[in-house]
Amino acid sequence: MKRFSEKKLIKLINDKYPNAKAVPLSEFYGDDSEGIWFRGSENYLDDTRLLFEYYDYNNQCHPKIAEILDKAGWFWEPYDSGTLLAYPQ
C-alpha cells in the first residue's frame, strides 16, 4: 500500500474522529518535522476509550486510530504520558 501523505492522513483522521484533533507535527516542535500530533490525545475517541492511554501497556493507542495509521503506512509513538505522535514508516 502506498503511504498516505501527512495532510491526507490528518484530514482522514479528523473527518472520522474530530476529537483526535490531529495536526501536523511541525506545530508541536515548531520546525518542519513530518508527522502527526494528536492534540486530542487525552480525549475520548468514542464512549468507551480514550484516544491514548499511556498506562495501558497492552493497547495504548485506540485500536481504530492504530488501524488507520497501520493501513496508511504510519506508526504511532508516545511522546510522554499525555501526548501521542505518529510518523511515516
Interacting residues of 25 by C-beta distance below 8 A, sequence separation 6+: 6, 33, 34, 35, 36, 37, 85, 87
**Is 31 part of any domain?**
yes
- Paired with 87 in beta bridges are 75
**What's the predicted TM-score (pTM) here?**
0.92
Confidence of residue 74 (pLDDT cuts 50, 70, 90): very high
In the block, cell 486530542 appears at 40
Provide the residue range defining the domain that includes 47.
Answer: 6-88
Instruction: Check residue 1 and give its pLDDT.
Output: 53
pLDDT tens-digit map of 7-66: 999 999 999 999 999 999 999 999 999 999 999 999 999 878 999 999 987 779 999 999
**Is 32 part of any domain?**
yes
**Is 38 part of any domain?**
yes
Domain count for the chain, please give it: 1
**Is 1 part of any domain?**
no
**Is 61 part of any domain?**
yes
**Is 74 part of any domain?**
yes
